[in-house]
Structure 1
Amino acid sequence: MKQSAFGFLLFWAFSLVWAQSPFVLTGLKSYTPVVAIESGKVDKKIKPMILEEMERISKELGIDTKSDTSRAFAFDIKRISVGETIAIKVDLMVSENLQRPQEREQLFVLSYADTHVFVPEDLEEDLMDAVDEMLAKFASQYEEDNSKTLTVKSASEHIPFATKMHYETDYKKALGKAKKEQKLLMVFMSTNYCPWCRKLENRVLSREDIDKDIKAQFVPLMLNFSEKNFPSQFNDIAITPVLYILDPQTEKIENTFVGYNNHESFLQFLKQVAGHARKQ
C-alpha cells in the first residue's frame, strides 16, 4: 500500500487531533454496524465483507449488535482528491443521537473515531487491510478500557470457521483420518484476537478454488495455540497464523506457511507442496 504525501499529512493531522482528545470505550455494550460507501470506484461487494468483519470483532468483544439501538458503529468510505492525487479516506466511528432533557434538540455524540487515508494500488486488498488494522486498533482500545470487566471469549469461539469449512479440530482424529485417506495433514494454527488469522481465513482459506485444492491434497485441521491441545513440536511458533504440512505416518513437518499472504501466494505454496509430494 502506497501512501501519498498528502495522505500522510492528512492522516497525521487526524491522528494528532485524536491523540489530544482520546476517546474512552468503557461501558460500550451495544451498537449497530453500518458501512457507507460514497465512491463509485469502490465495488459494493466489499460492503458485506466489511460488515462480516465488524460482526466478528464485535462478537469477540462481547458487544451486542442485534438489539435496537441508536448507536452506530460505522465505516464511512469515500474517494478524495487533491490535484492529481486520488486517495481513499476511511473513517471508523461510534456515534449516536441523544435527546437533551426537556428539549427537542438532539445532540450528535461521537464516542470513538479513527481515520485512515491511503493511495490504493490494489483497491480491494488495500481497503480490507485498512479495515482490519482499524478494527484491530478499536478492539485493542476496547480491551484496555474494559480490562476490569471484559470477559475474554474462549479459544473455542473460533471453531465456527472450522465448522463452516469442515476442518477437523482434534489432532488425533485428524491424524487418523489422514492415514486412512492417504493424504497429508494440514495444520492451521490460529490464536484469539489475531487479525492476520482472520484475514487468512476470510480472504484465502474461504475461497472456493483454494478450499477445493486443500481438500484434494490434505486433511485440514484447525488448532488454537492458546489451548495447547497438540504435540509439543508445534510449541515453538513465534507468529500466527502458521500452517504446517505433516506426513501422517511420521508426523514430520514437511512444509510451513507462515503469516498472511494473498491467495496467489498461497496457491503457489499448494503447488509447491504437491510437487514435493510427487517426487517422494
Structure 2
Amino acid sequence: MKIFITLLLLITFCNAAKIDKFASEVGYFRDYYSALKIAKEQNKPVMLVVVGDYCPWCKKFERKALKSPLIRKRVKQYFIPVVIDNKRDIGKYPKEFHTKLLPTVYFINQNTGEKILRVLGYSRKTTFSNTMDEVIKTYKKKKL
C-alpha cells in the first residue's frame, strides 16, 4: 500500500511540473487572481486555459496551437493568459469556470469577471486565432 501511495504522489508531482513548465515556456500565469490583477492594470481581458495533464487533447492544443508563434504573439498583445489544472487547482479560481470538458478556454472581462466567450475542446492554431479575433471584437464593442 505504501508503494502505491508513493507512486501516486510521484505521478501527481510529475504531472504538476508539466503544466508549470508549459506556463513558464509560453509566459502564462499559474495563478488566476494574480493574472486578474495584472489584467486590470493593463486593461486586457483574461484568457483562462483549463487543462489536465492526463488529457491528450490538452497536450495537443498546447503543443500545436498555444506554443505557435502566431498565437503566442496575439496572446501577448491582447490578453493576460493563465493556465489552470482542472483537478489540482480547484478552489484557486472562480467556480463558474470549473469544467470537466478539456481543454476549455474562457475569455473573461477583467473588470466584470463575466465570460466573453468559452471555447471547448481542441482548436487548430488558425481556428483559435480567428476565435481570438471574435473575442477582441466583442470585447471592444462592450467597452464602448
> What is the TM-score when the length of structure 1 is the normalising length?
0.45
Give the letter aligned to residue 268 of structure 1. N
Q: Which residue number corresponds to residue 163 of structure 1?
A: 24
Identity of aligned residues (%): 27
The answer to whether the aligner puts 1:230 opposite 2:93 as a matched pair is yes
The answer to whether the aligner puts 1:259 opposite 2:121 as a matched pair is yes
Per-residue displacement from partner, 1:44-71 (whole Å, max 9, x unpaired)?
Answer: xxxxxxxxxxxxxxxxxxxxxxxxxxxx
Q: Which residue number corresponds to residue 110 of structure 1?
A: none
The answer to whether the aligner puts 1:244 opposite 2:106 as a matched pair is yes
Q: Retained in 1: the 8 A contact 2:53–2:59?
A: no
Q: Which residue number corresponds to residue 120 of structure 1?
A: none
Which protein has the larger Cα radius of gyration, Structure 1 or Structure 2? 1
The answer to whether the aligner puts 1:217 opposite 2:78 as a matched pair is yes
Q: Retained in 2: the 8 A contact 1:243–1:257?
A: yes
Equivalent runs, 1:84-95 vs 2, <5 Å: none
Q: Which residue number corresponds to residue 52 of structure 1?
A: none
Structure 2 CA distance for aligned equivalents of residues 187 and 272 of structure 1 = 16
Shift in Å at residue 153 of structure 1?
2.5
Q: Retained in 2: the 8 A contact 1:192–1:226?
A: no
Structure 1 CA distance for aligned equivalents of residues 141 and 93 of structure 2 = 29
Structure 2 CA distance for aligned equivalents of residues 168 and 260 of structure 1 = 20
Q: Retained in 1: the 8 A contact 2:49–2:81?
A: yes
Structure 1 CA distance for aligned equivalents of residues 66 and 122 of structure 2 = 11
Runs of 4+ in 1 over 4 A off after TM superposition: none
Q: Which residue number corresponds to residue 68 of structure 2?
A: 207
Structure 2 residue runs without a partner (length 5+): none
Per-residue displacement from partner, 1:75-122 (whole Å, max 9, x unpaired)?
Answer: xxxxxxxxxxxxxxxxxxxxxxxxxxxxxxxxxxxxxxxxxxxxxxxx
Shift in Å at residue 167 of structure 1?
0.4
Shift in Å at residue 278 of structure 1?
2.3
Residue 196 of structure 1, aligned match among 57, 81, 84: 57
Give the letter aligned to residue 190 of structure 1. V
Shift in Å at residue 150 of structure 1?
3.7
Q: Retained in 1: the 8 A contact 2:105–2:119?
A: yes
Q: Which residue number corresponds to residue 132 of structure 2?
A: 270
Structure 1 residue runs without a partner (length 5+): 1-146
Give the alignment's Cα RMSD to 1 decimal.
Answer: 1.8
Structure 1 CA distance for aligned equivalents of residues 5 and 27 of structure 2 = 36
Q: Which residue number corresponds to residue 38 of structure 2?
A: 177
Shift in Å at residue 169 of structure 1?
0.7
Structure having the larger proportion of residues in helix: 2
Shift in Å at residue 274 of structure 1?
1.4
Per-residue displacement from partner, 1:6-63 (whole Å, max 9, x unpaired)?
Answer: xxxxxxxxxxxxxxxxxxxxxxxxxxxxxxxxxxxxxxxxxxxxxxxxxxxxxxxxxx
Change (3 A) 1:149 1:170: closer
Structure 2 CA distance for aligned equivalents of residues 206 and 270 of structure 1 = 15
Give the letter aligned to residue 86 of structure 2. F
Q: Retained in 2: the 8 A contact 1:197–1:240?
A: yes
Give the letter aligned to residue 173 of structure 1. S
